């Protein structure tokens, strides 16, 4: 079965989820699924850089957080517009990624990871100290959420169902864009660089330029996820820029499977869902969550989505 057909039932289930949620379950579950979608897009953005480009980043929280802050500030001071707030979030994150890329893409391995980590921590400290703009450690409370008008149809993003449908549409668009990038000549060149930089350079591929562009696209998609988070939560804080979030999204991408894109959705369902369940059972949920992550990565180093492929179980073992 082709990949589009295989994922059609999943798409239908996601689209119809709000019709059941709220009747049988509380709106809490709809809120949770929206959260999962946002983190799936964030993990897919990282996968584009790490899984396809081989760019080891421990600073993607910087792009996510900058996108969230830019969107929140736009809602408060520019206009209660989805296009404006999300657009500024994407542009701010892409600009930050371009800045990081200018310094970082010539580095490799652990040096690249540490540079991206350092940039994210720098912006975390700015968010904490620049109280007049960011609200400091107290965070930035949201403003009025946007409303979308399409003829007689009005979508108020303060309504959880409306927010869910908008998030689903935008996350799907983000995944489609990432898939188009991967399938393009640029994406194939990126994979060639990941496999062997020397061979890629020998056939005329500009390695540093491709790596820099990959980081910019990845940063822009991360900023889009951050902007959606800000609109959904109606609150942003410096923790969105903290290194722990960078580590969490790396784990989500690893759980699903690097170099797959759709593995990001599987990883987000597992990571966010299990974290939510464990946190209701015990105060020591972080210990169990960490142990579970280690177990999953050790048992399924290629990611969970590859288990569904022919011979996937044998490769995992």
Residue 268, domain member (yes or no): no
Round to whole Å and give the CA distance between 140 and 121. 19
Q: Is the pLDDT of residue 5 over 70?
A: no
Q: Compute φ and ψ for 25, nearest 5 degrees.
A: -115, 175
Domain that holds residue 61: 3-242
Residue 118, domain member (yes or no): yes
Residue 107, domain member (yes or no): yes
- CA-angle at 226, arms to 47 and 84, nearest 5°: 125
Residue 110, domain member (yes or no): yes
Looking at residue 287, what is its pLDDT? Answer: 78
Residue 293, domain member (yes or no): no
Q: Compute φ and ψ for 269, nearest 5 degrees.
A: -60, -45
β-pair partners for 21: 25
- Determine the angle formed by the axes of helices 82-104 and 60-77, rounding to 10 degrees: 150
Residue 271, domain member (yes or no): no
Looking at residue 13, what is its pLDDT? Answer: 55
Count up the domains in the chain and report the number.
Answer: 1
Of 94-108, 138-152, 237-251, the range with the lowest mean pLDDT is 138-152
Residue 291, domain member (yes or no): no
Q: Is the pLDDT of residue 24 over 50?
A: no
Q: For the CA atoms of 262, 268, 273, 276, what is the dihedral angle to 10 degrees?
A: -170
Tell me if 212 sits within 8 A of 102, measured CB to CB: yes
Tell me if 93 sits within 8 A of 63, measured CB to CB: yes
Round to whole Å and give the CA distance between 208 and 210. 6
Q: Is the pLDDT of residue 291 over 70?
A: yes
Residue 46, domain member (yes or no): yes
| Position with higher pLDDT, 316 vs 153 | 153
| Position with higher pLDDT, 89 vs 301 | 89
Q: Is the pLDDT of residue 9 over 70?
A: no
pTM comes to 0.89
Q: Is the pLDDT of residue 130 over 80?
A: yes
Average pLDDT, the chain: 84
Q: Is the pLDDT of residue 18 over 70?
A: no
Q: Where are the alpha helices (DSSP H) in 148-262?
A: 160-183, 185-195, 197-202, 207-233, 243-256
Residue 165 neighbours by CB under 8 Å, 6+ apart: 15, 18, 155
Residue 134 neighbours by CB under 8 Å, 6+ apart: 69, 126, 127, 128, 140, 238
- Nearest alpha carbon to residue 155 among 170, 143, 145: 145
Looking at residue 305, what is its pLDDT? Answer: 83
Q: Is the pLDDT of residue 120 over 80?
A: yes
Determine the average pLDDT of the residues in 87-105.
Answer: 92
Q: Compute φ and ψ for 115, nearest 5 degrees.
A: -65, -45
Looking at residue 19, what is its pLDDT? Answer: 52
Tell me if 303 sits within 8 A of 254, measured CB to CB: yes
Of 124-133, 226-235, 307-316, the range with the lowest mean pLDDT is 307-316
- Nearest alpha carbon to residue 68 among 42, 49, 102, 29: 42
The answer to whether the Cα torsion of 310, 313, 316, 317 is positive or negative is negative
Determine the average pLDDT of the residues in 150-159.
Answer: 77
Pairing mode, if any, of strands 147-150 and 140-141? Answer: unpaired
């Amino acid at each position: 079965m082709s990949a589009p057909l295989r994922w059609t039932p999943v798409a239908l289930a996601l689209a119809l989820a709000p019709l059941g949620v709220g009747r049988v379950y509380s709106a809490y579950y709809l809120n949770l699924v929206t959260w999962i979608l946002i983190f799936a897009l964030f993990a897919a953005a990282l996968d584009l850089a790490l899984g396809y480009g081989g760019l080891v980043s421990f600073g993607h929280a910087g792009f996510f957080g900058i996108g969230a802050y830019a969107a929140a500030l736009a809602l408060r001071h520019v206009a209660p517009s989805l296009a404006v707030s999300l657009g500024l979030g994407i542009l701010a994150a892409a600009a930050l990624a371009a800045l990081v890329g200018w310094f970082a893409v010539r580095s490799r391995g652990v040096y690249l990871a540490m540079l991206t980590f350092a940039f994210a921590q720098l912006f975390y400290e700015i968010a904490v100290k620049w109280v007049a703009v960011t609200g400091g450690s107290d965070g930035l409370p949201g403003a009025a959420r946007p409303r979308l008008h399409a003829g007689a149809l009005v979508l108020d993003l303060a309504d959880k169902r409306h927010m869910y449908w908008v998030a689903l549409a935008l996350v799907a668009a983000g995944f489609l864009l990432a898939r188009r990038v991967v399938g393009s000549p640029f994406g194939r060149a990126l994979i060639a660089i990941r496999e062997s930089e020397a061979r890629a350079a020998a056939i005329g591929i500009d390695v540093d330029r491709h790596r820099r562009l990959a980081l910019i696209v990845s940063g822009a998609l991360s900023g889009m996820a951050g902007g959606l988070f800000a609109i959904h939560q109606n609150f942003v804080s410096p923790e969105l820029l903290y290194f722990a979030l960078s580590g969490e999204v790396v784990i989500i991408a690893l759980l699903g499977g690097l170099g797959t894109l759709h593995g990001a959705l599987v990883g987000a369902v597992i990571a966010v869902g299990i974290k939510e369940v464990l946190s209701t059972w015990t105060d020591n949920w972080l210990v169990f969550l960490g142990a579970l992550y280690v177990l999953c990565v050790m048992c399924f180093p290629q990611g969970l989505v590859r288990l569904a492929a022919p011979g996937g179980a044998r490769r995992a073992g």
